């Protein structure tokens, strides 16, 4: 064994120690801009679409996710920067980038992302899909038989749904709804005068028109021979516009897509009723200013100018695309029934700690026995639903309190709460109405719960409530015992199969006391700051975090000195 190195003299150590100046925390080079950081994450998602080790249709889905994320980025982040410019406000973050500088950098990065996304679709995914018998055929390359299929599909399915809207001195420019795909059509009448019309591509119909009808394969070998062909619906509509404008000459038609400001500005200090304020905000979202206009590379300037003028869009908000407008529409392609090209179905496990071993055991007795940690989506979310259903039906349960953020459209969690109300339980719900893009769903559930007799609170002034907690108060002998579920994830059975979250079942007295105090803070008036176990923002979370980090740092320094001295 080699001899341990001797400790150098203290003086020598001090003389060789480099003098490093402390970092200047105001230096903007130390920080990454928030918006550009979010776009960097989209590159990470795009990498999954390029990754050939992922199943092919999952790669298509990742590309669709990039498109969906970018749409939300424009609706919220870019819209917010535009609002700052319009209001003459310049909010500088630690990176010291002005709103205008951020918009320039964002446009540059978005164009790079779009180019890489279209390259992925055209050069990587489409050839791979063709090898698997899935073809997206341009309308100009359809065979005579496929053209016949398209014309029949257009006449029977598409044509009755279409509503062409003219634009002339007697008819104003039509409203273009958010994220809708449209055709800008230039027509010529018998006198030679040219007219402009807009045709909306109906989002109620499939984005891909099937050109072949194949039977479901009965074996893996048969599946490899299966051939499916599709054409985008907007191409079918564009090729059959003469049916919409009989007696007119179709000069040209080009697709375009708009993205509107969907960020709801809530003046809470002036709002007498938060529910009505957010309802109005959801309605106004449909008419928000246009923050992005997507057009194809072939749209001529005179048609683009009509759109820019009437949509009140500047050139910086126009994005020309070499291919598909709206990568989000690839979700329809990823849903093709080809399980061999998707991830193998994953069935979450049920925690053994929550499985009764005797007839006398139930969910409450198992939680009394020990705390149970759930790890979703690897473990099932069903125990959480069972917890609330059991509470609704148990005659000894007196009350249920829960914080809801995103519960989804068809919610067994809300159904369990409604059942509890019918069973005579006292139910209190904090429904966060400001859950972005879930406001409408949350408003509907809040009204349903309120009509059933639930105590509904709509959030707190100046705060967005992200905590996920449920408490069941149960009578046991002469005492009332609280049972808790606290979690990082939403009470949403759909996203619980997708997102990585943890949840905890417990009836720990200290945690229970904290959660009781927390609900008093959320639903009533409470200035309590000395929670025993919980870190609650904005009450004590930052203070406790800094204290824990300071203690950890001191502990590591002591450990380092101990290691050195042991030598």
Query: Active-site residue numbers?
Result: 466
Yes or no: say if 456 and 491 are a contact pair by the CB < 8 Å rule.
no
Q: Are 486 and 515 spatial neighbours (Cβ–Cβ below 8 Å)?
A: yes
At 513, list the tokens: 């006391």
Nearest to 364 by CA among 218, 247, 484: 484
- The secondary structure of 48-72 as a DSSP string is HHH-TTS-HHHHHHHHHHHHHHHHH
d(CA 319, CA 184): 16
Dig out the tokens for 84 from the structure: 């700052």
Greatest CA separation for the chain: 102
CA 41 to the chain's CA centroid: 14
Task: Give the C-alpha separation, 132 to 126, whole Å.
Answer: 10
Closest CA to 279 of 446, 402, 414: 446
Whose tokens are 């609900």? That residue is: 519
- Give whole-number Cα distances, 55 to 2, 238, 339, in Å: 53, 33, 10
Give the H or E element holding residue 408: none
Distance from C-alpha of 232 to C-alpha of 250, rounded to nearest angstrom = 20
């Amino acid at each position: 064994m080699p001899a341990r190195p001797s400790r150098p003299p203290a003086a020598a150590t001090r003389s060789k120690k480099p003098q490093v100046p402390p970092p200047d925390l105001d230096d903007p080079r130390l920080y990454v801009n928030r918006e550009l950081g979010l776009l960097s994450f989209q590159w990470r998602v795009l990498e999954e679409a390029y990754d050939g080790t992922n199943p092919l249709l999952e790669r298509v889905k990742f590309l669709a996710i990039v498109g969906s994320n970018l749409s939300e980025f424009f609706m919220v982040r870019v819209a917010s920067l535009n609002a700052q410019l319009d209001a003459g406000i310049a909010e500088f973050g630690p990176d010291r980038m002005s709103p205008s500088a951020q918009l320039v950098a964002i446009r540059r990065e978005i164009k790079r992302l779009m180019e890489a996304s279209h390259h992925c679709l055209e050069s990587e995914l489409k050839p791979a899909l063709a090898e698997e018998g899935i073809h997206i055929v341009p309308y100009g390359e359809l065979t005579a038989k496929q053209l016949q299929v398209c014309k029949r599909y257009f006449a029977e399915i598409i044509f009755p749904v279409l509503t062409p809207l003219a634009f002339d001195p007697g008819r104003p420019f039509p409203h273009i709804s958010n994220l809708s795909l449209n055709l800008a059509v230039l027509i010529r009448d018998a006198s030679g005068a040219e007219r402009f019309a807009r045709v909306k591509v109906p989002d109620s119909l499939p984005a891909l028109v099937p050109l072949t009808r194949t039977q479901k394969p009965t074996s893996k070998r048969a599946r490899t021979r299966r051939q499916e062909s599709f054409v985008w619906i907007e191409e079918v509509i564009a090729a059959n516009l003469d049916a919409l404008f009989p007696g007119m000459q179709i000069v040209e038609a080009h697709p375009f897509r708009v993205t509107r400001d969907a960020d709801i500005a809530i003046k809470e200090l002036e709002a007498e009723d938060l529910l009505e304020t957010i309802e109005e905000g959801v309605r106004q979202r449909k008419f928000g200013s246009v923050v992005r206009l997507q057009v194809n590379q072939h749209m001529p300037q005179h048609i683009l100018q009509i759109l820019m003028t009437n949509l009140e869009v500047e050139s910086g908000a126009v994005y020309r695309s070499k291919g598909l407008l709206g990568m989000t529409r690839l979700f329809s392609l990823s849903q093709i029934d080809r399980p061999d090209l998707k991830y193998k179905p994953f069935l979450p496990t049920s925690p053994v700690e929550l499985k009764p071993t005797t007839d006398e055991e139930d969910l409450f007795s198992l939680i009394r026995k020990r705390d149970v940690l759930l790890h979703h989506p690897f473990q099932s979310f069903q125990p959480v639903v069972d917890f609330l259903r059991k509470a609704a039906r148990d005659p000894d349960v007196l009350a249920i309190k829960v914080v809801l953020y995103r519960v989804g459209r068809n919610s067994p969690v809300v159904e369990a709460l409604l059942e509890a109300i019918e069973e005579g339980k006292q139910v209190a719900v904090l429904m966060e109405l400001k859950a972005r893009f879930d406001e409408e769903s949350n408003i509907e559930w809040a009204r349903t719960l309120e009509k059933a007799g639930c105590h509904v609170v709509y959030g707190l002034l100046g705060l967005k409530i992200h905590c996920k907690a449920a408490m069941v108060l149960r009578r046991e002998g002469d005492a009332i015992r609280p049972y808790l579920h606290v979690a990082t994830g939403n009470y949403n059975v759909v996203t619980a199969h997708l997102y990585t979250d943890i949840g905890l079942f417990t009836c720990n007295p200290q945690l229970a006391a904290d959660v009781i105090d927390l609900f008093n803070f959320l639903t009533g008036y409470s200035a309590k700051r000395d929670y025993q176990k919980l870190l609650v923002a904005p009450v004590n979370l930052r203070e406790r975090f800094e204290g824990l980090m300071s203690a950890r740092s001191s502990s590591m320094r002591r450990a380092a000195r101990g290691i050195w001295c042991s030598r």
